[in-house]
Amino acid sequence: MSERGERDEVARSAGRNEPIRVLIVDDHALIRRSLELALAAEDDIEVVGEASDGQEAAELAERLLPDVILMDVRMPRKDGIQAARGIKESMPSARIIMLTASDEEEDLFEAFKAGATGYLLKDVQIDEVPDAVRGVHGGQSFINPAMATKLITEFASISRKEAERPPQLPVPRLTEREMEVLRLVAKGMNNREIAKDLFISENTVKNHVRNILEKLQLHSRMEAVVYAVRERLLEIT
Longest CA span, the chain: 55
* 100 in Cβ contact with 73 (< 8 Å): yes
pLDDT tens digits, residue range 194-237? 999 999 999 999 999 989 988 888 777 777 777 777 666 666 55
pLDDT tens digits, residue range 111-160? 877 888 888 887 788 888 999 999 888 877 777 656 665 665 655 565 55
- Can you tell me the mean pLDDT for 88-101? 87
Considering the entire predicted model, what is its pTM?
Answer: 0.64
Q: What is the pLDDT of residue 157?
A: 60
* 120 in Cβ contact with 97 (< 8 Å): yes
Alpha-carbon Rg for the chain in angstroms: 18
* 68 in Cβ contact with 136 (< 8 Å): yes
pLDDT at 47 over 90: yes
Give the 3-state DSSP-derived string for 17-35, with helices as H, strands as E and coil as C. CCCEEEEEECCCHHHHHHH
Q: What is the CATH number of domain 149-230?
A: 3.40.50.2300
Q: What is the CATH number of domain 3-143?
A: 3.40.50.2300
List where CATH 3.40.50.2300 sits in the chain: 3-143, 149-230
Distance CA 133, CA 118 (A): 9
Distance CA 29, CA 191 (A): 35
